[in-house]
């Protein structure tokens, strides 16, 4: 197939804001259909699915997962044989194809995301396979897609579906091949940095979980300033260190609306894209700094937090709010202790199946009767300080990840036309 290059109109100058030294040529527009095939994969019947140790790997749309609101590619383990490949007359896509599900706004590149070479995709996945590799670089085209809204490639139906014909009709501004490769290589290095930081964060979080298990079980103990052991831990019931706090608003929007989630307490306006609370939130519960808050229906899933970020706010009337008895409990110690594996088990035991699979009704007497071993206030402080230092390291790495992602976003805006 011959490659047709469509030059832009003379009144437009296709020159990006940020370029590498020595690259001064004006970019040209190429219609995707003139340098790449765009088509969906193949239908694999049940007899071909789930087979192991065969020759050809294939990617199903189900292999695309969601983590922290970011779509990513799981390690695909689906395989078919050479004979099956011939029977369905399928041709594997080469390593480097940009791939994305036909339904859903995810974009992936198997040169960067998959560990294998040539592979197949199912009929719910589109693959963009460049045939004019002399003029277009795989990774450059992948990064160009990241500058677009994938809704631009969808049909106008009730459910957005990416249309292969629309993708093929798009024009991509491209420089010379060598400049494409420089851009792709630079952005790939930024991605690699993000991946390394993400791995570092995961290792720190894993380390913290291991340390928490040892600290809260008493396997790992601290000593005082004179190198003497702290007193033996005391048996208590959870209800002995907590005192329920009930204060309700007398007018709507009396304080900022807060949401308690599995991760932390957030301003509702920052966490959700729309208002979840009722327009009139009179009668909502007041939540102050250093108070415990949790959802009785979702406690067994880990929806329990101590508000250490906001001086005052309001939460749904369905939440429970508690003060800590200062003579027994150190707030920052309980911040992590209440999320330990052992406590999660106790919450599940104190909760009964509700009307929904994801909701369980907490039995408050059982919750308050949960038995804990409590260190002295001094040892609680030592434990809390040690875990807080790990949190500081995790937060530092997380900030680096955010900065790197912001840097990449700026590069995408400036390095492409």
- DSSP letter, residue 176: -
The pLDDT value recorded for residue 8 is 36
Cβ neighbors of 247 (< 8 A, separation 6 or more) are 285, 286
Domain annotation for the chain: domains and CATH numbers: 5-16+27-175 (3.90.220.20), 176-222+378-417 (1.10.287.1120), 234-374 (3.90.220.20)
* pTM value > 0.85: no
What angle separates helix 177-217 from helix 377-415, to the nearest 10 degrees? Answer: 170
Residue 349: Cβ within 10 Å count: 13
282-319 tens-digit pLDDT: 999 999 999 999 999 999 999 999 999 999 999 999 99
Of 63, 66, 98, 95, the closest CA to residue 79 belongs to 63
**Predicted pLDDT of residue 189:** 93
Beta bridge partners of 310: none
| pLDDT at residue 93 in the model | 80
376 near 231, Cβ under 8 Å? yes
Q: How far apart, in whole angstroms, are the C-alpha atoms of residue 376 and residue 39?
A: 66
User: What is the C-alpha R_g of the chain?
Assistant: 28
The separation between the first and the last C-alpha atoms of the chain, rounded to the nearest angstrom, is 27
Contact 337, 216 (CB under 8 A): yes
- Kindly give, in sequence order, each residue whose CB lies less than 8 Å from that of residue 417, ignoring residues fewer than 6 positions away: 14, 15, 16, 27, 173
Residue 128: which of 145, 115, 114, 113 has the closest Cα? 145
pLDDT computed for residue 116 by the predictor: 42
Per-block mean pLDDT, blocks of 10 residues, the chain (417 long): 38 78 86 92 65 62 49 53 74 81 62 53 84 92 87 78 89 94 94 92 96 95 93 96 96 93 87 64 95 94 94 95 90 95 94 75 95 96 96 97 95 93
């Amino acid at each position: 197939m011959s490659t047709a290059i469509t030059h832009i109109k003379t009144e437009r100058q296709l020159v990006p804001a940020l370029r590498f030294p020595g690259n001064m040529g004006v970019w040209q527009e190429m219609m995707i259909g003139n340098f790449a095939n765009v088509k969906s994969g193949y239908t694999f019947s049940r007899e071909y699915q789930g087979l192991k140790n065969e020759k050809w790997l294939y990617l199903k749309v189900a292999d695309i997962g969601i983590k922290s609101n970011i779509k990513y590619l799981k390690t695909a383990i689906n395989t078919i044989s050479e004979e099956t490949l011939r029977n369905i007359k399928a041709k594997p896509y080469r390593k480097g194809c940009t791939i994305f599900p036909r339904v859903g706004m995810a974009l992936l590149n198997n040169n960067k995301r998959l560990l294998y070479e040539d592979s197949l995709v199912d009929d719910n996945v589109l693959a963009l396979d460049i045939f004019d590799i002399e003029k277009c670089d795989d990774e450059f085209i992948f990064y160009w897609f990241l500058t677009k809204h994938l809704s631009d490639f969808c049909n106008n139906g009730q459910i957005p579906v990416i249309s292969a014909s629309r993708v093929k009709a798009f024009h991509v501004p491209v420089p010379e091949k060598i400049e494409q490769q420089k851009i792709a290589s630079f952005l790939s290095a930024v991605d690699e940095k993000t991946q390394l930081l993400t791995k570092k964060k995961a290792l720190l979080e894993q380390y913290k979980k291991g340390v928490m298990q040892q600290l809260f079980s008493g396997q790992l103990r601290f000593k005082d300033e004179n190198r003497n052991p702290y007193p033996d831990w005391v048996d208590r019931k959870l209800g002995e260190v907590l005192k329920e706090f009930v204060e309700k608003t007398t007018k709507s929007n009396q304080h900022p609306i807060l949401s308690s989630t599995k991760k932390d307490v957030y301003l509702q306006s920052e966490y959700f894209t729309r208002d979840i609370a009722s327009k009139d939130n009179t009668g909502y519960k007041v939540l102050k700094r250093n108070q415990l808050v949790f959802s009785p229906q979702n406690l067994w899933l880990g929806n329990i937090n101590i508000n250490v970020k906001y001086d005052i706010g309001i939460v749904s009337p369905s939440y429970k709010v508690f003060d800590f008895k200062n003579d027994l409990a150190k707030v920052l110690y309980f911040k992590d202790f209440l999320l330990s594996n052992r406590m999660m088990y106790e919450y599940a035991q104190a909760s009964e199946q509700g009307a929904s699979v994801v909701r369980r009704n907490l039995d408050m007497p059982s919750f308050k009767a949960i038995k804990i071993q409590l260190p002295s206030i001094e040892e609680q402080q030592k434990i809390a300080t040690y875990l807080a230092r790990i949190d500081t390291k995790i937060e530092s790495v997380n900030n680096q990840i955010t900065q790197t992602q912001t840097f990449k976003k700026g590069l995408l805006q400036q390095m492409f036309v």
